[in-house]
A = this chain, B = another copy of it.
C-alpha cells in the first residue's frame, strides 16, 4: 500500500488521487467543522467552490437546508452559518443539509474528485478516519487544504497523525512517500503539544487575531467522535468506523 501526501490542492501529487482512498484535511477549520456538523446530527454537508454556486444549490434543494460560507475567516455575506465549528450545535444542524463554501477547505474536495473513496479528516475523527481508509485496501492519498496552494503546518501535522494511525491499524506493508514520511516526522515533533502548534502556526495566529481563538480549542480535540464524513454523490454523509 502506498501512502502519499499533497501539501495543498495545487500540489501535483493530487494528480494521483484517481482510484485511491483520499482524505482531505483542513484542521483550521473546514474539515473540523464538517466533522462536527455530522457528529451533531446534520444530514449531510455539500462542499462547493463559490458563494453563487452555494446559493444556487440551496435554492434547488429547498427545505431543511442551511447556507454556510466563509471568506477571510469571517462568515460570508448572506450566510446562516460561518466556518466556526462552535456554530454547528445539534439544535442548529440536526437533520439539516448544509451547503458549505470556504476559501481553501471545500475547494480541496474538487482537487481529489477522481478518488475511489473520499473522506474528510480532522483531529476530531483521526482514528476513525484511519480505520476507514485502511479498510478500503487502496493506496492512500492525504490532501492538505493548505492556504492558497501553500504549506500550512497544522494540516501537515494532521496528515502525520492520520499516517501514524494508519500505520498502527494496517496489516499490509506500507510504503510512505517522502512527503508522507516528512508529515509523520512533523507529527512526532508536535504530538506532545497539538494545541500549542495550532496557536503558533501562521494561520492559527491569524485566526486568534480575528477573534476566533476559541475555535482552536475545538480543533485540537483528538478522537472526539468515530464519525467519518464520506463523499456520496457530492454530499459528505456520516459513517461510523
* Interface bits A176-199 vs B (CB < 8 Å: 1, else 0): 011101100110010000000000
- Interface segment out of the listed A9-17, A57-65, A220-228: A9-17
Q: Which B residue's beta carbon lies closest to that of A148?
A: B12
Instruction: State whether the Cβ of A1 lies closer than 8 Å to any Cβ in chain B.
Output: no
Residue of B whose beta carbon sits closest to that of A156: B182
Q: Mark A193-229, 1 if CB is under 8 A from B, else 0.
A: 0000000011100000000000000000000000000
Which of B7, B149, B182, B203 is close to A153, meaning CB atoms less than 8 Å apart?
Answer: B182
Contacting B at CB under 8 A, from A24-79, are none
| A182: chain B residues within 8 A (beta carbon) | 151, 153, 156, 182, 186
A150 lies within 8 A of chain B by Cβ: yes
Tell which of A7, A10, A151, A177 has the most Cβ of chain B within 10 Å: A151
Q: Is the CB of A150 within 8 A of B13?
A: yes
Taking the closest CB of chain B, its distance from the CB of A39, in whole angstroms, is 28
Residues of B close to A150: CB separation below 8 A: 11-13, 179
Taking CB as reference atom, which chain B residue is nearest A149? B12
Chain B residues whose C-beta falls within 8 Å of the C-beta of A7 in the assembled complex: 7, 151
Q: In whole Å, how far is A199's beta carbon from the nearest beta carbon of chain B?
A: 13
Partner of A178, one of B13, B148, B202: B202
Residue of B at shortest CB range from A189? B185
A12 near B13 with CB under 8 A, answer no
B12 touches A12 (CB 8 A): no
Q: Which residue of B lies closest to A157 (CB)?
A: B182
Q: Does A112 interact with chain B (Cβ within 8 Å)?
A: no
25 contacts between A and B (CB under 8 A): A5-B151, A7-B7, A7-B151, A8-B12, A10-B12, A11-B149, A11-B150, A11-B151, A12-B148, A12-B149, A12-B150, A13-B150, A150-B179, A151-B179, A153-B178, A153-B181, A153-B182, A156-B182, A177-B202, A178-B201, A182-B182, A185-B185, A185-B189, A186-B186, A189-B189
Can you add 16 more A-B contacts, CB < 8 Å, to A177-B202, A189-B189?
A5-B151, A7-B151, A11-B149, A11-B151, A12-B149, A12-B150, A13-B150, A153-B178, A153-B181, A178-B201, A178-B202, A182-B182, A185-B185, A185-B186, A185-B189, A186-B186
